[in-house]
Amino acid sequence: MSRTVDIDFTFGEAISVSEVLYALLGTGLRMPSDTEVPYLVDEDGMFEWQKAAASDVDDVISRLADKRWEDRAVGMTLLLPDGPHGGDLLFHPGQTSVSFVVAVHPRHLPDSSRFCDLGWYLARLVPALEPLGLAEIEARDAP
């Protein structure tokens, strides 16, 4: 049985999708592949992920930041620095909250724990998000 691990970030006001993505990329987060960028624009409530060429990452970010998607979920899969660990960064409708769903090679606590090392993820994400008006963090690791 797999676990669901996610970290929810809430901001004081609506945030810029492109500003958040570029801030995270600037701290070393990267695409999970040198050739593709997995991303989501939830146009119809079906959460169908798409892929674009890695060379088109700026176009993908522009598409995700388009004002017509403010009331839809958009997202991108990213890996964190220091290994193959990552997940899906999802911007929720209204863009005052973002979730990081740990879905790519979760990093667990030492000694074969089944629990995710949430502190490791927070240490890599919060420094980029706090200057953007981060107001609240909620983390879950649940069956």
**What confidence tens digit (pLDDT) does each residue in 71-85 have?**
999 999 999 998 899
Domains of the chain with bracketed CATH: 4-142 (3.30.310)
Tell me what pLDDT residue 111 has: 87
What's the whole-model pTM score?
Answer: 0.94
Q: What is the pLDDT of residue 1?
A: 54
Query: Nearest Cα to 91, choosing from 71, 63, 116?
Result: 71
Nearest to 88 by CA among 112, 67, 109, 64: 64
8 A C-beta contact, residue 98 and residue 133: no
Q: Cα-flanking dihedrals φ and ψ of residue 13, to 5°?
A: -155, 170
* Helix %, strand %, coil % of the chain (to 5): 25, 35, 35
Residue 2 has pLDDT above 80, yes or no: no
Beta strand pairing call for 49-53 and 36-41: antiparallel
What are the structure tokens assigned to 65, written together? 């930041």
